[in-house]
Amino acid sequence: MAEVVVRSSIGLAHTIEARGHRLLADEPQAAGGTDTGPTPYELLLGALGACTAMTIRLYAQRKGWPLEAVEVTLRHERIHAQDCADCETRDAFMDRITKHLRFDGALSGEQRQRLAEIAERCPVQRTLQRQVSIEQELL
């Protein structure tokens, strides 16, 4: 089980504490923040990108493949659900995350394709693709 504590700082800035590590989250000045850290959506993309890269790296290491580096570039956007032919929902809007993968190393085309398939299996991506229950308690 993971636990994270988020505390208010100044304005829209917040500190995030996880296992003794501290991060900042904020909004850009144009959105009313002070731009002292990534936005919550940027942190979400960072979590997905880090998990994707770690999953790829672990798989390549286990196979002994010559993967030297992984780069994952992510983008989040809201789109009209009617514009998405493969979507299950027909609500007015939906969220779409696009991942671009780049692998450095002397990998074959088959190895590159397999790593792209493995990237889809990262635990954070699987969580985001499932229905998630969020329970809230007032303390």
Domain coordinates in residue numbering, the chain = 1-38, 39-129
Model confidence pLDDT, tens digit, residues 37-52: 999 999 999 999 999 9
Model confidence pLDDT, tens digit, residues 95-110: 999 999 999 999 999 9
Structure tokens at 102: 């780049």
Do 45 and 51 form a contact (C-beta atoms < 8 A)? Answer: no
Residue 122: which of 104, 97, 105 has the closest Cα? 97
The separation between the first and the last C-alpha atoms of the chain, rounded to the nearest angstrom, is 20
Q: What pLDDT, on a 0 to 100 scale, did the predictor assign at position 119?
A: 98
> CATH for 39-129, among 3.40.50.300, 2.40.40.20, 3.40.640.10, 3.30.300.20?
3.30.300.20
- Count of CB atoms situated within 10 Å of the CB of 40: 14
pLDDT for residue 70 is more than 80: yes
Residue 139: which of 2, 5, 29 has the closest Cα? 5
